[in-house]
Copies of this chain bind each other. A is one copy, B any other.
Amino acid sequence: MSEEAMATEEIMDGVYRALCEHGYAELTMQDIADECGKSKSLLHYHYDTKEDLLVAFLDGILADYEGRLACRADRPPAERLVEFVARFVFTPEEDDRESFHLALLEMRSQGPFNERIQDQLDRSDELLRDSVADILDAGIADGSFEPVDVDRTAALLVATLDGARTRQITLGDAQPAASYTRVVAEEALETIVDPLLVEGVDRPTLAEALER
């Protein structure tokens, strides 16, 4: 990895930790500088404003995600779909992940007031829906899924999993038994995914997908 790329990675890790620690609304360039052990002036050398840095950060997350999806494109569609669902599950013990998603939620509630942040959020939504639609198309093409309206099914699944995550990170004691993301992922597999599978096609269980 080049020195430049290493520095970028350290800065992005710093943004992640600073978001976990301070949330989005109150986040300063100094917080990020502290978390990545660099000077504020170095950050400003690379990124004019905090907004520039956050847009680059969101961009990096999305590029990572696109890369990971591309790696898995040759696996059976049913397996890929269960893994997509499993990726939304997390236990309340995963503190950092919860704090990070809470900061993202804050960012989303501010999104409509900031065009560049909103563009990244829109891209993220499209990427998620397109990923599901691609998996569904692949499954219909290879005969493992029943034909469905892939765009509408993708919108349903993404909304369901996102809703479960939002509820899990924002609620205290009111969670369903187990956790929101776990309960909803199980139910989504049984109610939304299973009816898609052509008879005789198996899928991994949620537990199996979570162990990978």
B191 and A125 contacting across the interface, CB-CB below 8 Å: no
Residues of chain A from 173 to 200 with CB closer than 8 A to chain B in the complex: 173-174, 176-177, 180, 183-184, 186-188, 191-192, 195
Interface size class of A (residues with CB under 8 A): 35 or more
A1 touches B (CB below 8 Å): no
Nearest B residue (CB) for A152: B187
CB < 8 Å neighbour of A155 from B110, B126, B187, B192: B187
Decide: A170 and B102 in contact? CB cutoff 8 A: no
For A12, the chain B residues whose CB sits under 8 A away are none
Contact B156 A184 (CB under 8 A): yes
Q: Is A129 an interface residue (CB 8 A)?
A: yes
A183 touches B105 (CB 8 A): no
Among A23, A173, A184, A188, the one with the most B-chain Cβ atoms within 10 Å of its Cβ is: A184
- With an 8 A cutoff between CB atoms, is A109 at the interface? yes
A37 at the interface (CB under 8 A from B): no
- Tell me if A11 is interfacial: C-beta within 8 Å of chain B: no
On whether A171 and B102 interact (CB within 8 A), knowing A152-B176, A163-B160, A163-B161, the answer reads: no
How far apart sit A151 and B177, CA to CA, in the bound complex (Å)? 9
- A203 contacts partner chain B, Cβ-Cβ < 8 Å: no
9 further interface pairs, Cβ-Cβ under 8 Å (given A105-B108, A155-B183): A25-B25, A112-B170, A112-B172, A156-B191, A159-B160, A159-B184, A162-B167, A166-B166, A191-B195
Residues of B with C-beta under 8 A to A177: 151
Give the chain B neighbours of A119 by CB distance below 8 A: 172
Could you say which residues of chain B place their CB within 8 Å of the CB of A110?
106
| Cα of A167 to Cα of B102 in the assembled complex, Å | 15
Chain A 26-42 interface mask (CB, 8 Å, partner B; 1/0): 00000000000000000
